[in-house]
Amino acid sequence: MSQVYESLSLANHSREIDAVQKVGLALGGIGVLLLFVAWGGIGLSSPALMLSTSIGLMTVGTLVYAWRSYMTVPEGIKNNGVWFDSLSNKGVLGWLFAIIITGFYVLLYFYPSLLGQGSDGAANTGIVALFDPLSRLLNGKAASQWFVYGTLYTVAILLLGFKFILKYRHNKYQLWRTISVMFFQLAFAFLIPEFLESMNSDQPYFQKDIKNMWPLNFYFYQDWNVNGMLGGGSLGLFMLFWGLAMTFIVSPILTFYYGKRWYCSWVCGCGGLAETAGDPYRHLSDKSVKAWKLERWLIHSILLLVTVVTIAIIYAYLKGDPGHKIWMTPMIFVIIVVVLSALVAAILLKNKTEVITSLGNKAFTGLLVALGGIAVLSVVAILTSGYDVFFIPTHQLKHWYGFLVGSVFSGVIGVGFYPLLGSRVWCRFGCPMAALLGLQQKFFSRFRITTNGGQCISCGNCSTYCEMGIDVRHYAQRGQNIVRASCVGCGICAAVCPRGVLRLENGSVDMDKRTTDLKAIHIGEEGVKLM
Amino acid sequence: MHIVIIGNGISGITAARFLRKRSEHQITVISAETDHFFSRTALMYIYMGHMRYQDTKPYEDHFWEKNRITLKKAYVKSVDFNNKSLQLDNGTLAYDKLILAVGSSPNKFGWPGQDLKGVGGLYSYQDLERMEHYSKDLKHAVIVGGGLIGIEMAEMFHSRHIPVTFLVREASYWDAVLPPEESQMINRHILENGIDLRLSTELKEILPNENGEARAAVTNKGETVDCQFVGLTAGVHPNIGFLKDTALEVQKGIIVNEYLETNIKDVYAIGDCAQASKPAPGRRPIEAIWYTGRMMGETVAHNITNNKVAYKPETWFNSAKFFDIEYQVYGNMRATLIEGHETIYWEHPDGKKSIRVNYNKATGAIEGFNLMGVRYRHEVCKKWVETQTPIEEVLANLGLANFDPEFFEQYEEFVVEAYNKQTGKQLVLTQKRALNAVSKFLSKLVKTN
């Protein structure tokens, strides 16, 4: 053991790319380049041709590259060179890519006019104008920066979803999950809302993506959306009731049966992008205990914040609705909030199962305090009878939440930093929907990742490729099942495990004992055994 | 009391962890290999770029201080058992109790050129460094030995597009352990990955270049294969060189009794280096695998902390991965069917998945499972084997064992079909893959015969 060799990074790790792959990359690259060309104002005389050429080239390029990369080799895990590649290992390419996407998000959210968004009725120019024909085709109106974003987002999920499917073609769970996110993005997030918009173009705008629910969709209860839905005929009323049902009935039930994965890695658009475009960066998530601590504080604070802001918004809305367009008064609303908080607290206290006690008393108390605090503050609001619940001007709360959480966190950092912090930064540290579903998953769900007896070899592939930064190995090597609030059930840990140790599954029989450890080989009173 | 553990692999570290859980003794772990415990089984993934070295460490670096386990980087030159003292390359260290978890090294069988530069096995972190070092400008590698490490090494070079010639002494890959069908499946898979597999071929000598590095390997068939690296993966042997000519009783490994005690008081041996004086029936005296190391580590910790328990590893299990084909085994499965056993074998038409179930012809009791490309539940298989469940009960409920991911096709009915074909019976599969049924089955108490 005395011989010393040079650094492990000396050898030439360059991944060999053959001519066909190069052609694919080139075609896709030209497709992307055309977008920049259009941004510069060139080719906008025939935007339809330009856009179809661009998207067509990106499609053909991705298909060729992905097919050549994965279909020429036997099926299986394809992580060779992940930590050597500049793009996936925070090298120059990774940083460059991060800067480009971050820049795009900054323009999109804060300087849309630079992308060509026409203001005050002026026609679009640049890249936004490029999308005008497609927008007219789908919803009858000129494009907006959000239409551009939605289209590119959908194209990214579809193309890179295809690549992901080829990469994991041996794994049916990955196959169906990816088809699902591709379908929900294309149909429910993109096409259907556009069609509905074109059919109801005379009515005020409200959001029409039926899979988008509060609290991820934090503007669901904002006055413009509520007014839009109330004035939006039968579709509007359906969206209102469906939106309420999603948060309070559909989602808890599905999470009870399948865990939060039914949403986070099967349906959600943010999750969809993370699982497809973000897949090459999943290993960059931070697995340290420190990061986990930060995660718990941050994500639950944001859930609390969005709850408070939403209560304030609804309260203010009801206060400002003296005509009683709807039957609910501020008083009834506060009573509902108090009863709901009490109900959840009662359920928590009554079902103090093994899973709940495993949390530790501090976190458990914290939860109860949060619930109590919400209830008390709501009552204070009705007693003081002002517009501004919690003594903070509601519109400011709304504004800052929208800016910091809705734009900066979920967009700029959440996606822009994929190549630096991993693909699920937003989902892990910021998304209030993930926080809410996570609490349900931890306390009221049949879902868990089962550890297969004593077969773990502590290799670390599961932890490394967990996009949520869960140290899966910590549980697997001691034979404990994994029941973590943050787990989105992507199933990659089970896929990359070289020893068949992990399985995502749901079961009711042992629901309250999901976290019992000591299933690995251990010493009992009678000797060494599997317990 | 000061407990010193030599070796920071899975055995030594498990011992340290459980000693800490069970006591307040002073614990020191010595290693010359790395500062911290890492998963040896993951070395290949570092080379392949799946993980970095730090990702292979199962515990964060602050874990050791927090748990008051002292890590000492040193090379133990000799042990003075009389004075309970270790001679290190950088000082001496006294102990009250000593745990030898010194692991093993790749075998060398006296081949000419076996000590040249660019020749080595894959066991330690330094072995990985050597591979990495010689991978630069490596045009061709030769691997000697048809076992688990050999195929890992082939996969490693393959991941870097380095052509490999794989010399296997046996007529078929790992056929001392795998039954013929499974062994041939892996032969096909090795070839599918473009490896130059040469069966029934042995290394005769390694030729040097002018710098004392390997330049070619000569086989016993007279062929000369040009190469710049030769991987020696023909098994391992315990690292007991520094213990020879002491009072410690050693043969191939360090002789231990069922409590993992050596012939010297207060000295224990665990893991790869331990040789059981009376191995359990059907078990080998030295079992150099991850799982046995982990179990011995836990056992020795109990024995040192006043809970005397014998090391009884119970039902055999193991796992591996051959390129893309996963392998699991539960129970007493051999390459050649044991006298009085019967086997049921099903293989998928794609030739990459198979299920083998063996049972005792006379009693009908299940003996074990061999799985290729299919995952089975450890606890279910173990319970069936240990309670000597009749084969037909096992087969009817075979879905309980299935551990493949959701949506994966279930092949249990084909196994039942194979059994029916063999016996002329009309057995029906009644239990498919289902967690609730598994939970009920596992919580049910069964009387052991």
Summarize pLDDT for B320-330 with one digit per residue, the tens. Answer: 999 999 999 99
Enumerate residues 414 to 453 of chain A having a beta carbon within 8 A of any beta carbon in chain B.
Answer: 450, 452-453
A402 φ, ψ (degrees, to nearest 5): -60, -40
State chain A's mean pLDDT as an integer: 87
B209 φ, ψ (degrees, to nearest 5): -95, -170
Of the partner residues B58, B189, B311, the one whose CB lies closest to the CB of residue A460: B58
Mean pLDDT along residues B254-275:
97
Enumerate residues 221 to 280 of chain A having a beta carbon within 8 A of any beta carbon in chain B.
Answer: none
In this structure, the dihedral spanned by the alpha carbons of residues B168, B173, B174 and B179, taken in order and rounded to 10 degrees, is: -150
pLDDT confidence band for A12 (50 / 70 / 90): very low
User: CB distance B406–A82 less than 8 Å?
Assistant: no
Enumerate residues 95 to 134 of chain B having a beta carbon within 8 A of any beta carbon in chain A.
Answer: 124, 126, 128-130, 132-133
Enumerate residues 181 to 200 of chain B having a beta carbon within 8 A of any beta carbon in chain A.
Answer: 189, 192-193
In A, minimum Cα distance to B324 occurs at A76
Q: State whether residue A99 sits within 8 Å of chain B by CB.
A: no
- Domain limits, chain A: 296-432, 445-530
Instruction: State pLDDT tens for residues B73-108.
Output: 999 999 999 999 999 999 999 999 999 999 999 999
Find out if CATH 3.30.70.20 is the number for domain A445-530. Answer: yes
User: Are the C-beta atoms of residues A231 and A200 closer than 8 Å to each other?
Assistant: no
ipTM: 0.96
User: CB distance B46–A8 less than 8 Å?
Assistant: yes
In B, minimum Cα distance to A13 occurs at B160
Tokens of B69: 């386990």
Q: State whether residue B53 sits within 8 Å of chain A by CB.
A: yes
Cβ atoms within 10 Å of A440's Cβ, excluding its own:
20
User: CB distance B136–A10 less than 8 Å?
Assistant: yes
What's the pLDDT at A6?
Answer: 45
User: CB distance A509–B377 less than 8 Å?
Assistant: no
Calculate what percentage of chain B has a pLDDT beyond 90. Answer: 96
Of the partner residues A80, A454, A499, the one whose CB lies closest to the CB of residue B49: A80
Half-sphere exposure of B146 (CA within 13 A, CB side): 26
**Residue carrying the six token digits 């086989």:** B219
CA A464/CA A475 separation, integer angstroms:
14
Mean pLDDT along residues A247-253:
95
Q: Using a CB-CB distance cutoff of 8 angstroms, which residues of chain B are in contact with residue A459? A: 39, 41-42, 45, 51, 56
Mean pLDDT along residues B56-74:
97
Q: Using a CB-CB distance cutoff of 8 angstroms, which residues of chain A are in contact with residue B310? A: 527
What's the pLDDT at A521?
Answer: 52
A/B interface, count of CB pairs below 8 Å: 199
Enumerate residues 210 to 229 of chain B having a beta carbon within 8 A of any beta carbon in chain A.
Answer: none
User: Are the C-beta atoms of residues B253 and B269 closer than 8 Å to each other?
Assistant: yes
Instruction: State pLDDT tens for residues A91-141.
Output: 999 999 999 999 999 999 899 999 988 888 788 999 999 999 999 999 888
CA B143/CA B229 separation, integer angstroms:
8
Chain A nearest C-alpha distance from B440 (Å): 7
Q: State whether residue A80 sits within 8 Å of chain B by CB.
A: yes
Third-level CATH fold of B2-105+237-304: FAD/NAD(P)-binding domain (3.50.50)
In this structure, the dihedral spanned by the alpha carbons of residues A107, A113, A116 and A121, taken in order and rounded to 10 degrees, is: 150
User: CB distance A455–B317 less than 8 Å?
Assistant: yes
Mean pLDDT along residues A454-477:
96
Of the partner residues A473, A474, A494, the one whose CB lies closest to the CB of residue B405: A494
pLDDT of B409 over the 90 cut: yes
Q: State whether residue B266 sits within 8 Å of chain A by CB.
A: no
Cβ atoms within 10 Å of A340's Cβ, excluding its own:
14
- Domain limits, chain B: 2-105+237-304, 119-234, 317-443
Tell which CATH architecture fits domain B317-443: 2-Layer Sandwich (3.30)
- How far is CA A466 from its chain centroid? 14
CA distances for B192 relative to A75, A306, B201, angstroms: 11, 55, 19
Pairing of strands B196-198, B203-208: unpaired
B210 φ, ψ (degrees, to nearest 5): -70, -20
What's the pLDDT at A525?
Answer: 45
Q: State whether residue B36 sits within 8 Å of chain A by CB.
A: no
Most A CBs within 10 Å, among B406, B407, B432, to test the A interface: B406
Chain B nearest C-alpha distance from A464 (Å): 7
Mean pLDDT along residues B411-438:
97
What's the pLDDT at A355?
Answer: 56
CA B114/CA B244 separation, integer angstroms:
23
Instruction: Name the least confident of A362-376, B259-273, B345-359.
Output: A362-376
Q: State whether residue B21 sits within 8 Å of chain A by CB.
A: no
What DSSP assignment string belongs to A425-479? HIIIII-HHHHHHHHHHHHS-SEEEEE-TT------HHHHT-TT---HHHHHTTT
Instruction: State pLDDT tens for residues A132-178.
Output: 999 999 988 899 999 999 999 999 999 999 999 999 999 999 999 99
Calculate what percentage of chain A has a pLDDT beyond 70. Answer: 88
pLDDT of B372 over the 90 cut: yes
What's the pLDDT at A389?
Answer: 53
What's the pLDDT at B317?
Answer: 95
Q: Decide whether B2-105+237-304 matches B317-443 in CATH topology.
A: no
Instruction: State pLDDT tens for residues B170-227.
Output: 999 999 999 999 999 999 999 999 999 999 999 999 999 999 999 999 999 999 999 9
Chain A nearest C-alpha distance from B280 (Å): 13
Find out if CATH 3.50.50.60 is the number for domain B119-234. Answer: yes
Q: Using a CB-CB distance cutoff of 8 angstroms, which residues of chain B are in contact with residue A14? A: none
Q: State whether residue B42 sits within 8 Å of chain A by CB.
A: yes
Instruction: State pLDDT tens for residues A169-205.
Output: 999 999 999 999 999 999 999 999 999 888 887 788 8
